[in-house]
Amino acid sequence: MDEIIIPILAIGILFLGLPWLVFHYVTKWKQAATITGEDEKLLDELHYTARRLEERLMTIERIIAADNPDFRPSQPQSPSPYDISRRN
């Protein structure tokens, strides 16, 4: 009787348990890979904040450059390639 149980158990694990385990973790991975609405909202807020900070920095650099002719900004004052609001 023990001679039959071990091969049946091994076949069951091989053909049922292993695929179930693989599909279970593939499903979990796909669910974790999607961005939630809350995450998207946070990214939008961070992008907006970064754009405002960049505009403030550019304003400060213009003021300093007007007061001090020897001042050279760290970057050229051109629109960021990532700034969507200035694109056509």
Alpha-carbon distance of 76 to 58, in angstroms, equals 10
Does residue 79 register a pLDDT over 60?
A: no
pLDDT of residue 74: 65
Alpha-carbon distance of 32 to 49, in angstroms, equals 26
pLDDT tens across 24-45, in order?
A: 999 988 887 778 889 899 999 9
Kindly tell me the sign of the dihedral angle through the C-alpha atoms of 48, 50, 56, 62.
Answer: negative
What value does the mean pLDDT take over residues 4-18?
88
Does residue 55 register a pLDDT over 50?
A: yes
Burial tier of 15 (Cβ tally within 10 Å: 0-12, 13-18, 19+): exposed
Amino acid identity, position 38: E
What value does the mean pLDDT take over residues 7-27?
90
pLDDT band per the 50, 70, 90 thresholds, residue 4: confident
- Listed by start position, the domains of the chain span 1-34, 36-83
Q: Are 62 and 77 contacting, i.e. CB atoms less than 8 angstroms apart?
A: yes
pLDDT band per the 50, 70, 90 thresholds, residue 85: low
